[in-house]
Structure 1
Amino acid sequence: MKGCFAGMTPTAIDRGTEWLSQAGLRPTRQRVALAALLIGDGQHRHVTAESLFADVEKQGQKVSLATVYNTLRAFCDAGLVQEVMVDGTKSYFDTNVHDHPHFFWEDEAKLTDAPAYQLEIAKLPDAPEGAEIASVDVIIRLRRRSS
């Protein structure tokens, strides 16, 4: 299968394949290509489906945008990535699945990690009767200062 991944390093392909295997996902050509782009260099990524689709096209891979969306959904379901909603209209997918805050750079529509050790939440409101808090998402919106 490695011969069909032009432009991708063997290390990236191996990392992607292992990542999928650890989650119990079958390593199809499309999944391996997307996984290699997401975690192939060992760094965490924040991507949209559209940005990942553009990256996979640059690598010369044949994957449809619908496949990218479906694969990212499968990666979420398997716990490989977490979805971060911005404005309720834009989804980013983060390969760092541990709880941590994010910066959203409004001028660039870019999501990055914020330093978790600097975040202090003293108290959360009680959940309404019959509900429990599933998670807390912290997105700090930034814009560049004008000179």
Structure 2
Amino acid sequence: MTKATDISSQERLRNSGLRPTRQRIALADLIFAKGDRHLTVEELHEEAVEAGVPVSLATVYNTLHQFTEAGMIRVLAVESAKTYFDTNVSDHHHFFIEGQNEVLDIPVSNIRIGNLPEPPEGMEISHVDVVVRLRRKTQR
């Protein structure tokens, strides 16, 4: 890790209201170094191990949820058994490629959503997630 990367991650954490601990900085470096992407707890843990970051799976899980609560990343529940974390927190939707467990962004401008139900009293819609599931065409 370079000093510039450490400072960037430290600033990102501080700006989000999180204390920049060594583990948070190291995980933030890994998460944001590759630009916008979707990853699971297990994938980030594997990247951390490969990078020599001494961190448990539970710590990665807790840190990703802290980053989510701080608004640094978004949770994307595509399957009941697997949760993805999205570094792109702007309004957008997703393609999910079944069988490959791959998630791709769809720009929000490509989908129009209308006729949303009125939320219950005292509630407001924060955002709408659309997941378009894809699979390879079968040969006939």
| TM tier, smaller | 0.7 to 0.9
Query: In structure 1, the residue corresponding to 2:6 is in which secondary structure?
Result: helix
1:37 to 20, 30, 43: 30
Cα RMSD, aligned residues only: 1.9
Query: In structure 2, the residue corresponding to 1:101 is in which secondary structure?
Result: strand
Equivalent in the alignment of 2:118: 126
Q: Distance in 1 between matches of 2:4 and 2:32?
A: 10
Q: 1:129 and 1:78, CA in 2 relative to 1: closer, same or farther beyond 3 A?
A: closer
Map 1:51-66 to 2 at 5 A: 51-66=43-58
Q: Distance in 2 between matches of 1:129 and 1:87?
A: 30
1:15-71 CA-partner distances (Å, limit 9, x unpaired): 222211111211111101110011134x11211000000011110110000000010
- Higher normalized strand content (fraction of residues): 2
Q: Distance in 1 between matches of 2:48 and 2:109?
A: 34
1:92-127 CA-partner distances (Å, limit 9, x unpaired): 111111221011111211112112221111321333
Q: 1:53 and 1:133, CA in 2 relative to 1: closer, same or farther beyond 3 A?
A: same
Query: In structure 2, the residue corresponding to 1:107 is in which secondary structure?
Result: coil
Equivalent in the alignment of 2:14: 21
Query: In structure 1, the residue corresponding to 2:18 is in which secondary structure?
Result: coil
Amino acid of the structure 2 residue aligned with 1:13:
D
Q: Distance in 2 between matches of 1:131 and 1:88?
A: 25
Equivalent in the alignment of 1:93: 85
Query: In structure 2, the residue corresponding to 1:102 is in which secondary structure?
Result: strand
Query: In structure 1, the residue corresponding to 2:84 is in which secondary structure?
Result: strand
Identify unmatched segments of 5+ residues in structure 2.
none
Amino acid of the structure 2 residue aligned with 1:87:
E
Query: In structure 2, the residue corresponding to 1:53 is in which secondary structure?
Result: helix
Equivalent in the alignment of 2:71: 79
- With normalisation by structure 2, the TM-score equals 0.87
Q: Distance in 1 between matches of 2:41 and 2:97?
A: 18
Q: 1:133 and 1:51, CA in 2 relative to 1: closer, same or farther beyond 3 A?
A: same
Equivalent in the alignment of 1:47: 39
Quote how far apart the aligned CAs of 1:129 are: 6.1
Q: Distance in 2 between matches of 1:114 and 1:30?
A: 32
Q: Is the 8 A contact 1:13 1:40 kept in 2?
A: no
